[in-house]
Chains A and B, each alone.
Chain A
């Protein structure tokens, strides 16, 4: 079920999806075939698990994330999962399916659509919600859209504030969500390293890094006053490599943009920016060229840098990662606005 900027009542969630277990949960579902290369390979999910070893480390991370997902779902009145369509969201969603199996996750997905996402992301988003039978709320800041706020004219910082941070706050307020799951990881960025797994937000959605609740063992303080909320980060202790290894081990579907393919790009501000649709404004002298590229992180296409890569499989991504010398956030324009950039955004309510 897709809800666009519409009113959504989380209390009517029960039975919102189609009956029966979602496709991905059927135990003997075939592994997708490789029709394109003509190599056909089928195996039961159980057989695959014998082939792909889950490391004890990944298993521990998985268990911890499931505990967090269940705890927040059990203790909050109206939880929601921020679904950003990227690899971390894919893992988080997969873990949510596991946490509540054979039931369905007892919360909807929320996507903050800036209208500048890659087209493949939106297609993948809708396909995923349909495949899993989950309710997906897509929210756009309509004021921002009406004013024509875009990453070209308004700068990445202001644009992000209006179309992401403000849009997110609007959506949380409109639906009365009191807990929002996010796929952020502590290894991504320095200010993230100090964030709690359950991160408390004031009624104005502000974050005070100097006054965080101590978080001991796996005991999460879920008490909040009316109007306050929490952000919950089940993947806090995962690293980028963990995420990819888990995607490989669990065969989790991801947006194809993560895999290398020939795509049209321009060089801009030391980044490779993909020309995803006709709205892309080319600067004088910029001529799109086709390069073998992929993305390590996904966001709004005019602000997201690609990397040259030949990794066309998850396995090759994992291999590439073990020799990579740059961080995934290098490809994010919004992190480079100024020193302490992420911390400032977070204080204002950014995820």
Chain B
């Protein structure tokens, strides 16, 4: 017999029956991240004799700590890192105490490697932010807190390192801790704690320090061992989800569906639904090599067999019928961009969520976030390490849950179709067009039916141009003519909308984007109602106009650019706004201190300075006849 025949009659229970804590460490280059991890490994006896010999050798060659051992070199593994003295890539480290096992993701803090921090945070329960006690909370710290929160890390620790360099001063620590707590309070972490340490000398990392006698709290390691990992909201009543990863069909007698339970739990006999098709069955068996299970819960890799033969393949999602995931081809999500080539709205990417990969594009880049100030900024693209909120449009519907409910069902990656690089990471906020499925079944009067009754093709005439260009006058004339001919119309005017629907919005770029988004949604409803919509908005940004265009069916968005020279608009100044703007009484005024991006390919260009509104309106009506929107009489 081979070497396996060692089993004794009463095997001892294994040691270390502790939960696992995954955490990440982040800080800027000189905050001592690598040293801290080296210290944790060293103090928990993970550094072995031969590794110590290598460390002594490396410390002499690359060390930055004079005659002392440079613990950072335990972690900085790549040759380039040793030479440059900085951590380039995310590294994973392992140690255990009697109470817990730990997986540490060590992520670099410098700006160009934000993507690495997001990577480390995606699987972490806790984040340790390192700061230098001398410098306190830095821009980087704010950024790290933001990313940790974005990726759903629940616990935050501020390690106030190099406390030895401020003379173990309590007042300094209290000051740093207070500003940290103020910063973190806005995020909603499950726990937030500041701990003073010296990674280099080992103060308060694994053992309490006499120098820090004034500090009453746990050491860093004690905190890591004690932090409560049970997520009460997650433990109770998460609905069952399991993406099908592998159809297990070894022979004609067995057909099982293998996958990892994403959330909730399942027992034989439980009803399940295939989220996409809506087909239902019951679980017959939960098969594993160790025998059938009576129950499988989140994280378990199992194989289910069903009571009925259904057409199921990889990428389908099993769910509990009374709590189904959303199924949609459009959703809003936050995206962290990770590729050198920027994310461009409209460009096609591969989206992988769970076990499903579909073609997708960003239909709307709503805004990006300045992660140093947390401000929202209008954006036309997302560059490497930028974070934005987007609407995505998929080639086919997929099942998902919001990221805050499920990391597995709410997270996706975007893959560049040309280079195959992992270009972005996304976290779903909520589904759009939530009523799509119900709508299709429930309403038998379609857009086409409504349009036919109106003897017109519904569409929107989108008048864009500077204030005073003549948009309102022309659109008013067009609507009067259409109405006289018996067409059903509605005119949306910028000023009127801002008195009602967008009363709460200002004129900053994000507000302008939101204003146009709302107008776009209203336009979509009116077009769906079969109307010819006339929308008269300055709408200075191409991206917003494209956003509305993307909301509608092809051909429904007719962009009319009223191209009147700025000087003429200023001279007309029908509402006295240019005068006020030039006097500095109004800010963000298009053409004065805010840009106007002229359409590149409008369906119609009207030279507002050269012709009378009546003749321009006639050209609009001509276009509608040519496009078959209205009959040619």
Contact = CB atoms under 8 A, between A and B. Distances in A.
Query: Do the two chains bind?
Result: yes
B7 interface: yes
A255 B49 contact: no
A326 B118 CA distance: 34
B188 interface: no
Interface string B244-266: 01101110001010111000000
Interface string B66-81: 0000000011111110
A194 interface: yes
Given A51-B11, A63-B260, A214-B118, A32 B4 contact: yes
Nearest to B289: A101
A316 B407 CA distance: 40
Nearest to B51: A327
B50 interface: yes
Contact of A187 (B58, B94, B246, B411): B94
Interface string A60-78: 1011001100110110000
Contacts of A218: 123, 260, 408
B79 A339 contact: yes
B101 interface: yes
A221 B8 CA distance: 44
Given A52-B11, A56-B17, A71-B245, A223 B420 contact: yes
B283 interface: no
Contacts of B536: none
Given A57-B20, A193-B77, A221-B415, A214 B116 contact: yes
B254 A102 contact: yes
A63 B300 CA distance: 6
Interface in B521-575: none
Interface in B55-113: 58, 61, 74-80, 88-94, 96, 101, 103
A213 interface: yes
Interface stretch (A92-100, A141-149, A166-174, A282-290): A92-100
A153 interface: no
Given A190-B77, A216-B119, A324-B48, A221 B246 contact: no
Contacts of B80: 210
Interface residues of A, number: 94
Nearest to B92: A186
Interface in A211-254: 212-219, 221, 223-225, 236-237, 239, 241, 245, 248-249, 251-254
Contacts of B11: 48, 51-52, 248, 315
Contacts of A102: 248, 250, 254, 256, 287, 289
Contacts of A314: 6-7
Nearest to B426: A216
Contacts of B301: 62-63, 66-67, 70, 98-99
Contact of B122 (A194, A216, A248, A252): A216
A220 B116 CA distance: 15
Contacts of A312: 6
A219 B91 contact: no
A115 interface: no
Nearest to B45: A325
Interface string B4-15: 111111111111
Residue of B13, B77, B80, B412 with most partner-chain A CB within 10 A? B77
B487 interface: no
A103 B253 CA distance: 11
A252 B7 CA distance: 10
Interface in A26-78: 27, 31-36, 39, 41, 45-46, 48-49, 51-58, 60, 62-63, 66-67, 70-71, 73-74
Contact of A74 (B14, B314, B338): B314
Nearest to A316: B6
A86 to B, nearest CB: 12
Contacts of B61: 339
Interface in A277-315: 312-315
Contact of B422 (A67, A187, A213): A213
A256 interface: yes
A326 B596 CA distance: 68
B294 interface: no
A251 B2 CA distance: 12
A312 B3 CA distance: 9
Contacts of B123: 216-218
A255 to B, nearest CB: 6
B230 interface: no
Nearest to A219: B413
Given A51-B11, A97-B289, A251-B4, A210 B250 contact: no
Given A41-B9, A194-B91, A312-B6, A221 B288 contact: no
Contacts of A70: 245-246, 258-259, 301
A189 B2 CA distance: 29
B10 A51 contact: yes
B303 interface: yes
A236 B17 contact: no
B486 interface: no
Given A67-B245, A224-B420, A324-B48, A253 B2 contact: yes
B254 to A, nearest CB: 6
Given A101-B289, A209-B89, A219-B352, A256 B3 contact: yes
Contacts of A25: 289
B299 interface: yes
Nearest to A100: B248
A348 interface: no
A60 B19 CA distance: 9
B352 A254 contact: no
A324 B61 CA distance: 27
B4 A254 contact: yes
Contacts of B392: none
A259 interface: yes
Nearest to A33: B5
A122 to B, nearest CB: 13
B3 A253 contact: yes
A45 B413 contact: no
Contacts of B91: 186, 190, 193-194
Contacts of A55: 14, 16-18
B1 interface: yes
Nearest to B88: A210
B93 A193 contact: yes
B421 interface: yes
B23 to A, nearest CB: 14
A209 B78 contact: yes
A233 to B, nearest CB: 11
A191 interface: yes
Contacts of A254: 2-4
10 contacts: A56-B17, A74-B246, A74-B355, A104-B250, A186-B93, A194-B90, A210-B78, A214-B118, A259-B3, A339-B61
Given A103-B249, A218-B123, 16 more contacts: A27-B291, A55-B14, A55-B16, A57-B19, A99-B258, A102-B250, A190-B91, A213-B421, A216-B118, A217-B122, A217-B407, A221-B413, A221-B415, A237-B94, A326-B48, A330-B48
Interface of A: 25, 27, 31-36, 39, 41, 45-46, 48-49, 51-58, 60, 62-63, 66-67, 70-71, 73-74, 97-104, 124, 127, 186-187, 189-194, 209-210, 212-219, 221, 223-225, 236-237, 239, 241, 245, 248-249, 251-259, 312-315, 318, 322, 324-327, 329-330, 339-340, 343
In the complex, the 4 A-B pairs of residues with the closest C-beta atoms, listed nearest first: A190-B77, A103-B250, A256-B3, A253-B4
